[in-house]
Amino acid sequence: MASHIVGYPRMGPKRELKFALESFWDGKSSAEDLKKVAADLRASIWKQMSDAGIKYIPCNTFSYYDQVLDATSMLGAVPPRYGWNGGEIGFDTYFSMARGNASVPAMEMTKWFDTNYHFIVPELGPDVKFSYASHKAVDEFKEAKALGVNTVPVLIGPVSYLLLSKPAKGVEKSFSLLSLLPKILPIYKEVVADLKAAGASWIQFDEPTLVSDLEAHQLQAFTEAYSELESSVSGLNVLVETYFADVPAEAYKTLTALKGITAFGFDFIRGTKTLDLIKSGFPSNKHLFAGVVDGRNIWANDLAASLSTLQNLEGIVGKDNLVVSTSCSLLHTAVDLVNETKLDAEIKSWLAFAAQKIFEVNALAKALSGQKDEDFFSANGQALASRKSSPRVTNEAVQKAAAALKGSDHRRGTNVSARLDAQQKKLNLPILPTTTIGSFPQTVELRRVRREYKANKISEEEYVKEIKEEIRKVVELQEELDIDVLVHGEPERNDMVEYFGEQLSGFAFTVNGWVQSYGSRCVKPPIIYGDVSRPKPMTVFWSSAAQSMTKRPMKGMLTGPVTILNWSFVRNDQPRSETCYQIALAIKVEVEDLEKAGINVIQIDEAALREGLPLRKSEQGNYLKWAVHSFRITNVGVQDTTQIHTHMCYSNFNDIIHSIIDMDADVITIENSRSDEKLLSVFREGVKYGAGIGPGVYDIHSPRIPPTEEIADRINKMLAVLEKNILWVNPDCGLKTRKYNEVKAALTNMVQATKQIRNQLASAK
């Protein structure tokens, strides 16, 4: 029985690629140095899978930034502003598209389906001249072959690539991106021909958009694309891979009828209903790649249950046609549990990271072919039983409190307009108040202080002194810049979710459980293994200290329950909504303690609210109901004069704007500039928003400093669709990834632009 891995983490077990990228971007190392680190990581990954007995090993899933940007490079779809003049795309053009440069902004970045991974959105139009401009897929196949490893090259499928794209600036929004299919398929044919010539016997096309609610003409595009590719892929085995949800019935019919396709891959973790479709009919003599090992969570597989599922599938498709696989790429999970030397032994026994999942896949494949490893299966069963019966998982008081929430929708007693009036009397803010989102640059020195404190190399007294000094610098800088509502910069936090998880019960933490979010940005998701509560205050000390340093309003900074949920590895033994309600109750107590401490502005970030939205429309209403309810729970008990902010970033919010309004926050700051001010279109279309709102005026993920005039122009565009008395001015997101010289220059221009517009508004009276 054969085994397959959809994709694998790229950063390395100790984030080797992250550090190599940042060293290259800072000019401290060469392109050759970066390529050497990347080649070593690829070789290690391929060897690991080969040694574990995996038959179908992926290649071209490695990326210096993201796989969609790699496809854009392969197709030569470089926006004109980057000045690319043809030829093989190099690092300068590639990273300019991803990060921007001193003269032009980056391309839009958004979430990869319902994950915390991001991709660079292709900008396309009728005038794009596509060309075969990156040979990365072929080069990496040859690289693996030279190492003695036969791999399966992976490409983003042509239809999904177009469906994930957007019309470029200046192109009509109604432009049909699928009309470009005849223009990109010749490049795909060239790539396939090169892979054939290099000796590839299999090729994998990832078509994840097949799990979405697609219209008839979109499904027809798949039929047309693969009919056109049929002669080119002749002689190759072709796998079309789907993941993240069930494949709808009509999409299943389209997919399984595609010409020239050898195999179909399905996610049986998040797509359990697909099994019913397969039972009702699967094409004869085709292979089924069964994703039964979870690529998005870190819990050990229930091997007995997975084996039973596989045996059922075997009875339908035949023994020789079934391949055991992961549900999706392992990119979304941590790399290797072996590196977790400090993790509690009992909890560790419940887990499987990417390296362990490879062995789970192979163990299931062997068991299906009659070579079951009884010891491996027995240890797995014992670990599952231990988790189920462990007293550390359950807290009866928390469960009762969460159950009691269902009798109310938890709304504040006064409407937002009246609350804003009461808050203005207390805060006395100018028109177009300025603020930032929360974090300030995380310097090398600051990271050293936190690292030494965790290692007990400095005392708590020394640590507090150092962090307070950093807060003082951030406060003084904001006052110097004349920002109206301040933040303390979050110097005590390495990561917004990890920080709160460390102080909540029911969470466990890793040392090296890093997961790529975008580019070199990695996060270390906490593990929610049990019921959640807040044993003691988490942020009150630091927020109070910061407020004592200024007379201006200081925001208390919290992460909201939905974001903590969506940015964690969540327990899979109860509904996600139940866990979210528990977190909401914990945050609620913290909010009320901040208010008692004299913090009059409290930001509860829900950056990941949109991210958790199910991919199928039929499931979205229920998610939004409990997610929005969870947010309202956190602040239902505060006074009218306490201003509640929230923040969201890097997703498409237009389709959930009414749910955002239903959150009933006093002020929302939201990413806007990097996505070409897409957010403003909902207000142009007549959506009325009565609360405070701060659409971001510049992109913080680029080192580029936006000119004052550009920011002023953005503010004017906002004023064309939003009332001046509700508009706030702020960056797109937090500033932790930037350098202080960049932050100071950008915020100076932001404040200057705001003052210019204030003067214009005053003159117009």
Q: Is 658 among the annotated ligand-binding positions?
A: yes
Smallest CA-to-CA distance from 622 within 632, 612, 631, 608 is with: 612
Q: Is 362 among the annotated ligand-binding positions?
A: no
b/e sequence 109-121, b meaning 16+ C-beta within 10 Å: bbbbbbbbbbbbb
Q: Which amino acid is at 456?
A: N
Q: Is 327 among the annotated ligand-binding positions?
A: no
Annotation marks residue 287 as catalytic: no
Q: Is 438 among the annotated ligand-binding positions?
A: yes
Smallest CA-to-CA distance from 329 within 61, 536, 45 is with: 61
b/e sequence 552-580, b meaning 16+ C-beta within 10 Å: bbbbbbbbbbbbbbbbbbbbeeeebbbbb
Smallest CA-to-CA distance from 6 within 213, 286, 292 is with: 292
Q: Is 250 among the annotated ligand-binding positions?
A: no
Q: Is 521 among the annotated ligand-binding positions?
A: yes
Q: Is 605 among the annotated ligand-binding positions?
A: yes
Q: Is the four-CA dihedral 283, 285, 287, 288 of positive or negative sign?
A: positive
The kind and range of the H/E element at 518 are: strand 515-518
Q: Is 640 among the annotated ligand-binding positions?
A: no
Give the active site residue among 410, 488, 629, 701: 701
Q: Match 């003052």 to its residue by tokens.
A: 755
- Residues contacting residue 17 through CB under 8 Å, at least 6 positions apart: 10, 11, 37, 38, 41, 64, 520
Q: Is 116 among the annotated ligand-binding positions?
A: yes
Tokens of 748: 């100076």
Q: Is 287 among the annotated ligand-binding positions?
A: no
Q: Is 649 among the annotated ligand-binding positions?
A: yes
Q: Which amino acid is at 438?
A: G
Q: CA-to-CA distance for 378 and 352, rounded, in angstroms?
A: 15
Main-chain dihedrals φ then ψ at residue 130, nearest 5 degrees: -75, 145
Q: Is 350 among the annotated ligand-binding positions?
A: no
The kind and range of the H/E element at 363 are: helix 354-368
Q: How far is CA 43 from the centre of its chain?
A: 26
- Could you please report the per-residue DSSP string of 666-690? SEEEE--TTTTTTTHHHHHTT----
Q: CA-to-CA distance for 756 and 336, rounded, in angstroms?
A: 53
State the binding site for L-methionine: 437-439, 490, 605
State the binding site for 5-methyltetrahydropteroyltri-L-glutamate: 18, 116, 521-522, 567
Question: Which sequence positions are flagged as catalytic?
Answer: 701
State the binding site: 18, 116, 437-439, 490, 521-522, 567, 605, 647, 649, 658, 662, 671, 733
State the binding site for Zn(2+): 647, 649, 658, 662, 671, 733
